[in-house]
Structure 1
């Protein structure tokens, strides 16, 4: 279940409340159960996946890809981050700074969790913890940042409109220091 923290100390856990709070930013958050694919729980429990296992996971949630194609997504990959990943901290250091992107950023979390921070039009920031079985779409141009929770673990399908993927355009906004 997603958790939204507002700078004034309020916390929201109901999807309807979170959706209302994020509506001015046009952020879409949906609950999307993974389904009944019998192979997925075992694969999602593993820290490390081979390329063949990653493809198996992507095939296991291909119905979701078919649903989001209507938004222009043409390509996807499986992001697998865990404490032993050699590229973990390099990747985090690029995403935990406030940035925007030319394309929408869409993520379907299958296991683990991550924190998105958003900068509102008044300059205030909110933090959204997204967890397993949640899909988030962040519109292009939305100022945000991303980091992992203390578990340093997430498996998520990233959706792209182009093969080039998301290219961050960093802003001068100081992002929330709650990142690891």
Structure 2
């Protein structure tokens, strides 16, 4: 289930090792699974969130061409309104044995020079956004669309056994490029169970 939790950032000096971080995991100040409340909370922080209708003719495991065709009108609407010239499909999990190194890369706090825009076709993932003294954790699932503005500090957890498929939107054709902050903050907050 899609869920938003909002935490105050932890004070400096908390132990960076995972065991101590889990023991001192903060309690959320706010938590909801209501899509309208999720969208409203994220909007106040400059994050766009929508629920798109599922496409009944699209089968689990569909290929890129089938997915892009099924969501063509919604994709075009986003491209026209926000100028995303490049769209592709990324599938992680299943028979891909190298997902753990990818997971570890995404778990490091980073930011991008352009917006990070994703639509979950299948599966789920956890975006953690570090914004102005808060950490917002959003579990995205199938039919969730999110647009994180450029330069927003964040990390992403695909889980220990990842299985998801997303449509990715880019303004530039270079694809995913991250600038890592080297802040250990991600180790202080829950991951995707």
Q: TM bucket by the smaller chain?
A: 0.7 to 0.9
Equivalences, count: 169
TM-score, scaled relative to structure 1? 0.85
Give the superposition deviation at 1:95: 1.2
1:27 maps onto 2:47 in alignment: yes
| Partner residue, 1:90 | 101
Structure 1 unaligned segments of length 5 or more: list them.
Answer: none
CA contact (8 A) 1:108 1:157 kept: yes
**TM-score with structure 2 setting the length:** 0.79
Q: Distance in 1 between matches of 2:119 and 2:174?
A: 19
Q: Where does structure 1 differ by over 4 angstroms across 4 or more consecutive aligned residues?
A: none
| Equivalence map 1:37-116=2 (5 Å) | 38=57, 40=58, 42=59, 44=60, 46=61, 53-69=63-79, 70-116=81-127
Say if 1:21 and 1:161 are closer, same or farther in 2 by CA, change over 3 A: same
Please say if 1:148 is aligned against 2:148: no
| Consecutive unaligned residues in structure 2, runs of 5 or more | 8-26
Say if 2:125 and 2:192, in contact at 8 Å, map to a contact too.
no
Structure number, greater radius of gyration: 2
CA contact (8 A) 1:96 1:179 kept: no
1:159 equivalent to 2:179? Answer no
